[in-house]
Structure formats: structure tokens, C-alpha cells
Amino acid sequence: MMQPVGIFDSGVGGLSVLRAIRQILPSLPVIYVADQAHVPYGPRSLEEVRAFSEGVTRFLLSQNCQMVVVACNAASAAALTHLRRRFPQTPFVGMEPAVKPAAEQTLSGQVGVLATPATFQGALYASVVERFARGVVLYQDTCPGLVGQIEQGALDAPETRAILEKALQPMLIGGIDVVVLGCTHYPFVIPLIQQICGPQVRVIDPAPAVARQVQRLLNGAVRQDDPSPQLRFYTSGAPEKMAALLPNLLGETHPVGQLHWDGLTLSEGDTKHS
């Protein structure tokens, strides 16, 4: 049996990455962990997010995962380098804000970046800006409250629209023609973003590129004929709440298992909710 790939996020945002992975690797066995006991990661310190990311990774490796996808920009900013050093045998795929394609695609030279504070503070963001954004004006916004709205499944609520309008209006006045989604929760509100910005503004979701990177690293090792790949979902928050969101966010129904933090160690409880 093929070893699963582990995917984690602070919450349901990483499901946007899982969705993209499932589009090109439908037979891939996956274990998804949402650390909803600690969502949102974005306003926390990089040290704290790094400690949670290490705890989740240890859990995924204890479940025999062959690779870990850090499907969270905040955790990638805080922990990717650390995780690669700490677990040198494990391949990691992380998120980085898609400033490079945005800089290549903008005609106006003005680009909007939506991400959480941890992502903007991390060295990874500074490095992509330094390498790829020369001559481009970047408008940044942390969209306070947006992750919480998406965690509630409020993808189209008036409050969600208000948060996005507040972030995007100044950028539109500035003349942006590309928006980078630097948080894996945000692809779930692309329809709203596109409504606010209009069709002339391009919205970049990095999930498909991350999925292709996972495919490259697996190097053809996935059996394409497995009709029912093992997908396991866990949360350190409320399993029944997460299970209720899966049909809307992933288009699928799955049981969700309970995880508990004991200090910085994550382990499985015994209740499952569909």
C-alpha cells in the first residue's frame, strides 16, 4: 500500500490545496490535519507557529506519511526551513506568495497581495519580494477577520464582503490588475474577490502550482487505478464542525477524527464525526 501524503493547515484553508492535488492525483492517499485549536495562525508569533507546525508534522510522520505539504502560508513562513532541517529524510512542499507570476503578469505594475501578518513578517516573503518584485508596486493587506469568516463557512456573507472591500478598494484605486492570494483560506472567496475587482483583475491562486510540485516529487509513484484512495481528516478543534464544512469546501463528505494537544504533542482521540 502506498504511504499517504500529509497535508496540514491551521484550519480548512489547506483544503484549497488538497482540492488542487486531488484534481491531478485523485488516487493519492492523504492525511489532512487542521489545527483548529490554534486557528488563526496569522496573528501569532513565528516561534509559536513553528512549534505547532513541528507538533503536527510529528503526528503526520507517526502516521507513516512519506511527504508533508505545509498547506499554510503562515506555517511555511514560520517553519518550512526549520522543518526541513529537523526532518531531513522527509520531503516538504510549502507555500510561498505568488509574487513572481504576479510580477510577470501585471501590465499596470501594481499588484495586490492578501496574506496574514505571519506571512508578511516571514523571511520567505521578503525574499520573493526582493528577488521578483523589482519595479512593481505591491499593495499589502492582512484582511483581519477573513480567515475566521471562512472557518465559519461564511463564504458569501455581508461581513466577508465588507472585509474584502476594505482591503481591495484602495488597491483598485491604486490601479492593481493582479491579486495574489497569500493565504490558503482565500481561494474559497475568489468569486467574491472577482466580483469586487471585476473581470479585468487577475486573481492568482498558487494551489495548482503546489499540486504540480507534489506530483513532481512523487515521481509517478501514484497508482492511477485505485478507486477508493484512503483520505483521512483530523482536527484539533471540533470534528463535527469541520465535517459539516467539507461538502461545501471540498465537494465531498468524510468523517473527521479528533486530535488533542498535550503540550506540543498531538495525538489521536477516539471520537469520529461525519
Q: Which residues from 175-214 bind ligand DGL, rule CB under 6 A?
A: 183-185
Catalytic residue among 65, 143, 183, 197: 183
The whole-angstrom separation of Cα 259 and Cα 270 is 9
Q: Does 20 bind ligand DGL (CB under 6 A)?
A: no
**The binder of ligand DGL chosen from 28, 39, 46, 167 (CB under 6 A):** 39
Q: What grid cell was written down for 79? A: 517553519
What is the H or E stretch that residue 180 is in? strand 178-182
For residue 57 the three cell numbers come to 508534522
Residue 55 in contact with ligand DGL, rule: CB under 6 A: no
Nearer Cβ to ligand DGL (9/141)? 9
For residues 148 and 188, the answer to whether their CB atoms sit within 8 Å is no
- Alpha carbon of 66 to those of 3, 16, 63, 72, 164: distances in Å? 6, 21, 9, 19, 37
Q: What grid cell was written down for 207?
A: 494551489
Please give the Cα distance from 92 to 250 (Å, whole number): 23
> Shortest Cβ distance from residue 89 to ligand DGL (Å)?
25
Q: How far is the CB of 146 from ligand DGL (least distance, A)?
A: 9
| Interaction between residue 242 and ligand DGL (CB under 6 A) | no
Q: Which of 72, 83, 163, 179 binds ligand DGL (CB under 6 A)?
A: 72
CB 41 within 8 A of CB 10: yes
Any catalytic annotation for residue 183? yes
Residue from 152, 122, 140, 209 nearest 176 by CA: 140
The interface mask with ligand DGL, positions 119-148, x = CB under 6 A, is x---------------------------x-
Closer residue to ligand DGL (CB): 166 or 223: 166
Q: Is 143 a catalytic residue?
A: no
Shortest spacing between CB 179 and ligand DGL, in angstroms = 15
> Does residue 116 touch ligand DGL according to CB under 6 A?
yes
CB of 127 to ligand DGL, least distance (A): 17
Composition of the chain by helix, strand, coil, percent to 5: 45, 20, 35
Residues that bind ligand DGL (CB under 6 A): 9-11, 13, 39-42, 72-74, 95, 116, 119, 147, 183-185
Mind telling me the catalytic residues?
Answer: 72, 183
